[in-house]
């Protein structure tokens, strides 16, 4: 398991320099077809997997595949983007990225974040309410001693509210850690989740290897010579004219 309840994430992009937009879209469509076939074979609906395919701009521009079963969630995206290594607009690239996660761990993380925020706010408000009576009694005072006491009370109030917020955050973090440990214990004994993750790891390694296939196809692309119809015609060479030579004689005087 990786950080933030994410399992075996991957991502890559391959530039398609020298290809037109239509060629890149055709190649994206071919990659999408391959990934979709493998996705359906690894996560069949007959075994309870709920597969969803979304492609707002059409399969030739990219697709997002998602799958769910129990605590298991996974997604893969294939899309065409502007090549990040080049600044020209007509340089395209193919990008693929994916990740898997456990739903119970994701929910535990979300609940933990909300708990820390709420308890921090509770500690801040509770500590601020402690000093409202003191400020109320000193508000109308004109004596120097009362003014100094009011200033000291404000400083103490600021320090106490900061301490209260920190204390509330600390309690929230301890509660969040307990919820996270319970979620980890729950997922560690989930046999279906472990089987899903085994399938995902094998598929993610296979999809990561797709990049090498694209790089190899770009490197192995042969040089395309011009066809005889559009090749420039060469005029037959003509011999250069021979220069006329004249003889000079020098007489000695």
Look at the pTM and tell me if it is higher than 0.85. Answer: no
User: pLDDT category, 227, cuts 50, 70, 90?
Assistant: very low
169, 116 Cβ separation under 8 angstroms:
yes
- Interhelix angle for 210-219 vs 191-208, to 10°? 10
CB burial string 83-118: b at 16+ within 10 A, e below: beeeeeeebbbbbbebbbbbbbbbebbeebeebbee
80, 17 Cβ separation under 8 angstroms:
no
Using CA atoms of 34, 39, 42, 48 in order, give the dihedral in degrees to the nearest 10: -150
User: pLDDT category, 138, cuts 50, 70, 90?
Assistant: low
Domain spans in the chain, listed from the N-terminal domain onward: 3-102+191-218, 107-187
Q: What pLDDT shows up at residue 75?
A: 94
Q: What's the average model confidence in pLDDT over 163-179?
A: 79
Q: Is 209 exposed, middle or buried (0-12, 13-18, 19+ CB in 10 A)?
A: exposed
Each residue of 9-51: pLDDT tens digit?
A: 888 888 877 777 788 888 888 888 889 899 999 999 999 999 9
Residue 88 has pLDDT above 70, yes or no: no
3-102+191-218 maps to CATH 3.30.530: yes
- Report which of residues 141 and 108 the model is more confident about: 108
SS3 128: helix
Residue 228 has pLDDT above 60, yes or no: no
| Secondary structure letter of residue 145 according to DSSP | H
- Tracing tokens 């030739």 back to the chain, one arrives at 60
Q: Is 80 exposed, middle or buried (0-12, 13-18, 19+ CB in 10 A)?
A: buried
């Amino acid at each position: 398991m990786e950080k933030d309840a994410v399992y075996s994430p991957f991502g890559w992009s391959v530039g398609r320099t020298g290809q037109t937009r239509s060629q890149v879209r055709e190649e994206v469509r071919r990659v999408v077809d391959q990934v979709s076939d493998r996705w359906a074979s690894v996560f069949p609906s007959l075994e309870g997997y709920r597969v969803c395919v979304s492609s707002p701009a059409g399969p030739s521009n990219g697709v997002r595949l998602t799958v769910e079963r129990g605590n298991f969630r996974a997604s893969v995206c294939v899309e065409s983007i502007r090549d990040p290594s080049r600044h020209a607009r007509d340089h395209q690239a193919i990008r693929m990225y994916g990740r898997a996660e456990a739903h119970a761990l994701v929910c535990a993380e979300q609940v933990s974040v909300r708990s820390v925020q709420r308890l921090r706010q509770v500690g801040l408000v509770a500590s601020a309410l402690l000093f409202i009576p003191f400020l109320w009694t000193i508000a109308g005072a004109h004596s120097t001693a009362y003014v100094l006491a009011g200033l000291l009370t404000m400083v103490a109030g600021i320090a106490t509210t900061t301490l209260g917020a920190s204390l509330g955050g600390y309690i929230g973090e301890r509660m969040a850690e307990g919820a996270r440990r319970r979620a980890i214990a729950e997922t560690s004994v989930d046999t279906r989740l472990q089987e899903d993750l085994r399938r995902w790891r094998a598929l993610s390694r296979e999809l990561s290897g797709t990049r090498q296939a694209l790089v190899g196809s770009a490197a192995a692309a042969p040089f395309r010579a011009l066809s005889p119809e559009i090749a420039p015609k060469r005029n037959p060479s003509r011999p250069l004219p021979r220069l006329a030579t004249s003889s000079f004689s020098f007489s000695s005087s």
